[in-house]
Each structure stands twice: as structure tokens, then as C-alpha cells.
Structure 1
């Protein structure tokens, strides 16, 4: 299993358990860089500590602050907005390139909801 797959699995489990998604923002807003396939993706993490690692280790994100987003708000507002804007969700991006899987917002929502129902 690739490291991106491990981080994605952890994202689903940890968000299902905590009920929070973590983004990062600066004075200009939330970043949405190009993902690995050339599409724009907005990164989210399953914990504050994961988001802080990116902020602390990548100069490009040095001025950002972690932001907790309640799962219900993420589903009600963010998923439709991301979908409408054609953005993917970058899940638990890590490493020196802040990379990982980019997934359709509705797929992220469905996968986490399935875990929440099974626990």
C-alpha cells in the first residue's frame, strides 16, 4: 500500500471518529494548488497536528493557520461549494511536496459517512 493510500485511510478513519476536518488558510483564504493530475485541489487534514506539519515544514505554507471545520458544516457547505467550483479534496497531504490523493468531494463525504454509520 502506498503512503498516499495509508494517509487517505487514516483521513477517513480519523474524520469519522473526531467529526472534524482541518484546512489551512492565510489572509488570502484557503489554498487550492494544482494536484498531481493537473486539477485544482483544496487540501484538508484529519487532525490539527497533520495540518501543522505542513505549515511548519513547507515554506510555501509558512504563513497559514490551521482551521477546524465541523463535519456537518463540511458536508452542508464545503462539499457543494468545492463541487460547484470543480475542486478536488486533497486528503492528508504530506511530505516535502505536500502531496497525496485528490478525491471528488462527494466521494470523500460518502466514504466518511459509511464509516460513521458502521461505528
Structure 2
């Protein structure tokens, strides 16, 4: 059962807490392709939605994403490789979007900072 709600700030905090605890981030993947969608906040921007729990990622494997499967990314790899690659590609990150695909959209470096801050 999903812990995500309509409270987008709480969903973001949950993302930080759970990713720090588990050391894992979840995206949706089909073959070599990962889910990336248009930003709701910024014109001409793309967002890669990510979740802190497999169950929440799996809930989004419907409709146009029905062929995708949750795929784990270890936190160390995410911070060492993915953050830089997403930043270079000008792709934002959508942490813990709820069932309505609502959530924050952050620059990759901002998410990385939040994940490594001790008092966040």
C-alpha cells in the first residue's frame, strides 16, 4: 500500500527518509528506456519521476507506462553517475509523485544535496 498522499512536501520528505534508509531509488524501465515525461512546471523541460519504494513505482505501471517495470538504482550509483548525467541532459527529477502524477520537480543537484544533508 502506498504511503504517498496529496501532501507533496510530505511525499518529498518521505522520499529523502526512505532513500537514505534503503540506499535505493526506483524508476520505471522498459528495455533500455526509462520513463521521462514533460514538466508540469517548466516549459521545454523533461522530468524523470523516481520513487523511494518499489510499491509506489509499480503503481504507475499503467496506461502509457504499462510495459514499464520498476527498476532499482543503488543510491551510490545514483549520486555518482545519474545526477551528473541527468543534469547534463537538462532533465529534472520528480521524487515520489503520487497516483495523480503530482509532486515536486527538482534540479538533480538539489535532490543530491537533500539526500546527503544530515539535517534535511
* TM-score class, shorter: 0.7 to 0.9
Higher helix share: 1
Paired residue total: 112
- CA deviations 1:2-45 (Å, max 9, x no partner) are 62111111101100111000011113500211121132101110
**Equivalent residue for 2:10?**
6
Is 1:19 aligned to 2:14, yes or no? no
**RMSD between aligned residues:** 1.4
Give unpaired runs (5+ residues) of structure 2.
1-5
Report the TM-score, using the length of structure 2 for normalisation. Answer: 0.87
Pairing of 1:1-119 with structure 2 (within 5 A)? 3-27=7-31, 29-37=33-41, 38=43, 39-55=45-61, 58-96=62-100, 98-115=101-118
**Equivalent residue for 2:3?**
none
Q: Secondary structure at the match of 1:5?
A: helix
Higher strand share: 2
Structure 1 runs (4+) deviating above 3 angstroms are none
